[in-house]
Amino acid sequence: QVQLVESGGGLVQAGGSLRLSCAASGGTKITYAMCWFRQAPGKDREFVATISCTGSSPYYTDSVKGRFTISRDNAANMQYLQMNSLKPEATAVYYCATGTTRSAIVKGDVDYWGQGTQVTVSS
C-alpha cells in the first residue's frame, strides 16, 4: 500500500512562508495524482491543491491561488506544498493524499491519506 508521511508544519507569522513535504512510498503511487487537504479546528476537511501524476496541471482552491504552489518529484517520491503570504485563516492540519480524477479529489474522494502536519499562522 501507499504510505504518506507529511513534514514541515510549524508556527509562522502572517505574511511568512512555509514548505510542507510529503514522503511517499509504494510501487503504485507514481500513477496517481497527489493532493493536499487541510482541516481547521471545528471545521470540515477541505481541498487545497492537487497535481497530476506527471507533475502537470496543478490546481488550487480559490483561496490559495497565487500564493500556494504544489509540486512533486517522482524520482524522490516526494510532493511539496510551498505556502507563501500566509494568512491566519490558513491555520489547520494539512494532509497529504493520493487520488484519481480532479473532480473526485476536490470532493475528498482519495485513496490514501497521510497523518497530517500542523500549520499555525499567527496574526
pLDDT digits 0-9 by tens, 36-86: 999 999 999 999 999 998 888 999 999 999 999 999 998 888 999 999 999
Ramachandran angles phi, psi of 16, nearest 5°: -85, -175
Predicted local distance difference test score (pLDDT) of residue 27? 63
Q: Over 80: is that where the pLDDT of 30 sits?
A: no
Contacts of 120 (CB under 8 A, 6+ apart): 10, 11, 12, 91
pLDDT number for residue 21: 98
Q: What is the pLDDT of residue 29?
A: 55
Cα separation, 14 vs 33, in Å, equals 30
Torsion of CA 84, 89, 93, 95, to 10 degrees: -60
pLDDT the model gives residue 53:
86
